[in-house]
Structure 1
Amino acid sequence: MSHDLQALARRLERAQALQNERFNLAAGGQSLPVGGGYAHFRGEGHPLNQALGLTEAITESELSSVEAFLGAPTVLELSPGAHASLWPLLAQRGYRLHQFQQLWTRPLEGVEPTLPLVGIRLVRSEEAVMYSRITCAAFLERDDWQELDPPFLTPLSVPDAWGFLALVDGQPVAGGMLGIVEDIALFSGDGVLPRHRGRGLQKALIQARLAFARARGCELACASTAPGTPSQRSYEACGFRVAYPKVEMARG
C-alpha cells in the first residue's frame, strides 16, 4: 500500500470515527476507545454496535475487551489504514468476512456554495422522529413510514451535523445526513422511499450537501456505500470517486 493511501485512510477513518462518536453519545450509547478509534454500544443486538477507526496497533487483550464490550456478534469496520498486526490476530480469533463497503471521496474545489436546491431543506429539530422513520422505511424498502417504529432515532442536536430532506409536492420522501469533522464533509444515512426513486432525489440531496459543506469551508467530502448499489451510482454521478475498499469483520 502506498504511503499516500494509508495517510488518506487514516485521516478519513479518524473523521468517521469521531462523527460516529458524537452520534453515539447523543443517542445515549456507550463508547470504548481502542486502536485510535472507538467501539460503540447502544444496547444488546443493536445494528450500530461496532468498532471503527482502528488505525493503531491493538493487543489481544484489547481486542478481548472490545469483544466483551460489544457482545456477539462483534463487528469491526476496517480499512487499508488498519494496523498490519490486526489481520493475523483476527484470523487467530476466528473472525469472518461480514460485508464489503466502498469509501468514496471528492474534492470540494469548484463546488458552488449556494443553496437550497428546490425541494431540499434542512431537517428541523422537532422532526427527528419523522426523519428517522423516512430513512428507516427507505432502508426496509417500505413506503408506509408514518407508523414505523425505527430501531433507532437519528439525533439532530449533534454539533456540526445536519439532516436534509427532499420533498415532492410538499411531502418529505427522502433524507440524508451531513457531518463536518476537521474540514471533512461526511455524507451518510441516505434514503429515498421506494415509490419516489428514479427522480434524481438522492443526487439532489448530495448536491445540496456538497454546496452546504463548501460554504462552511470543507475541502473534501466522503461517503461509504455497498458496492454496485444505486447509492454508488448516485455518488459517482455527483463527482465522487472510489478511494479504497472497506470490510466488516465479525465474530460470534
Structure 2
Amino acid sequence: MAGDQGTFFCGTELAARIERVEAELISKGGGAAAARLGATAGFVIPVAGGVAAFAEEGSPLNKVAGLGFAGVPMVAELEQIEQLFAERKTAVQAEVSQLGDPGVGELLTERGYRLVSFENVLGIELGGERAAVVADGVDVQHSGEGEFDAWLDVVADGFAHPDTQGVASHEEFPPEIIANAMRDLIGAAGVQRYLARRDGAVAGGASMRMSQGVAQLTGAATDPAHRRHGVQSSLLSVRLAEATAAGCDIAVVTTQPGSKSQQNVQRQGFALLYTRAILVKG
C-alpha cells in the first residue's frame, strides 16, 4: 500500500474496505437509534453494498453511505429509500467515493440529486511498533462512564464550531442531537472515548472505532483555552498507538477539504486517499 517517498496509494480494494467500515458504523448507529426511539421512528436498509439510514430528525447518521463497490443500486431500491426519507420530511444525502463505480453518480444525478459538497478521507499506514507521544503536562486516558458528560461537552463543542479554514461544511447539528448520536455509536458500534487533561483540567476529547483492520478516528476536539499545547497531537498519537497494537493496518479520518483539521493530520503523516461527493435530493 505504501509507495516511494512515503506516499500512500489507495486503490479500489482499500477504498471498498474503508467504505464498508463506514457503512457498518452508520448501520449500527442507526440501529441503536431505532432501539432507543422505536422501530417505526427510523430505518436501516442495506443497499448495493452500502446502507441507507435514518436515526432521528437532524441526526448526522441520516444518510446513504458505502455505495459504489458492490454494483449500482436498483431504481426500485432508491425509490423506496427516497420515499422513506420523504415521509420523514428529510432530504436524502448520499456520500459517494470517487473510487466507486461511476454509474452510481450517473444514476443519482439522473434522479435529481444535486452535488452540494465534498469531504476528504485521509489515512496513515500502521504496522510494526508505534509508541504514544504525549506532550508535557498532558495526560490521555480512556474516558470512564462517569466522565461521559465531561467528554461530551468538549467534543460536542468541537462539532458545534467547525473549521472556518477551507471549504465550509454544509451541515450543522444541534448539541442534543450530537449527544444522542454519540451515545448510540458508543453503545452499539464499539466507539471508544478518550479524554485529555492538561495540568489536571479537561482539555480535549476524542474517539475511535476499529473494524476490519481499519481504525476510524471518529472525532476530536480541544477546549479553546488549551489549544497550542499539544493536546490534539497527544490524542492522535495515543489512538494510533492503540490501533497499531490492536492489529489495525490503517487509520482513517474524514475532514472538510482544505480545513485546519486536514492540515493538522497531514502534518502528522496522513495522506489524502480519496474524496467523497455529497449528493442531496430534497
TM tier, smaller? 0.7 to 0.9
Task: Give a deviation string over 1:104-126, Cα, whole Å, max 9, x none.
Answer: 11111245255887411111123
TM-score (norm: length of structure 1) = 0.87
| Contiguous gaps of at least 5 residues in structure 1 | 143-147
CA contact (8 A) 2:132 2:237 kept: no
Instruction: Look up the SS of the partner of 1:85 in the other structure.
Output: helix
Q: Partner of 2:6 in structure 1?
A: none
Give the counterpart of 2:147 among 110, 117, 127: 127
Q: Determine if the alignment matches structure 1 residue 183 to structure 2 residue 213.
A: yes
Instruction: Look up the SS of the partner of 1:213 in the other structure.
Output: helix
The structural deviation recorded for 1:244 is: 1.0
Q: Determine if the alignment matches structure 1 residue 32 to structure 2 residue 62.
A: no
Give the counterpart of 2:177 among 145, 148, 151: 151
Q: 113-122 or 3-12: which moved more?
A: 113-122
Q: How does 1:51-130 map to 2 (within 5 A)?
A: 51-55=64-68, 56=70, 57-71=72-86, 72-114=90-132, 118-130=138-150
The structural deviation recorded for 1:174 is: 1.7
Q: 148-157 or 219-228: which moved more?
A: 148-157
CA RMSD of aligned residues (A): 2.4
Q: Partner of 2:4 in structure 1?
A: none
Instruction: Look up the SS of the partner of 2:73 in the other structure.
Output: coil
Identity of aligned residues (%): 29
Select the structure that is richer in helix: 2
Task: Give a deviation string over 1:70-127, Cα, whole Å, max 9, x none.
Answer: 3321101110243222222212221111211111111112452558874111111233
Instruction: Look up the SS of the partner of 1:209 in the other structure.
Output: helix
Distance 1:141 1:193 in 2: 11
Instruction: Look up the SS of the partner of 2:277 in the other structure.
Output: strand
Q: Partner of 1:214 in structure 2?
A: 244
Q: Partner of 2:167 in structure 1?
A: none
1:102–1:35 CA distance, 2 compared to 1 (3 A): same
CA contact (8 A) 1:104 1:222 kept: yes
Distance 2:146 2:18 in 1: 31
Distance 1:94 1:194 in 2: 41
CA contact (8 A) 2:25 2:189 kept: no
Distance 1:199 1:228 in 2: 23
Instruction: Look up the SS of the partner of 2:130 in the other structure.
Output: coil
CA contact (8 A) 2:58 2:177 kept: no
Aligned pairs, how many? Answer: 245
The structural deviation recorded for 1:248 is: 1.0
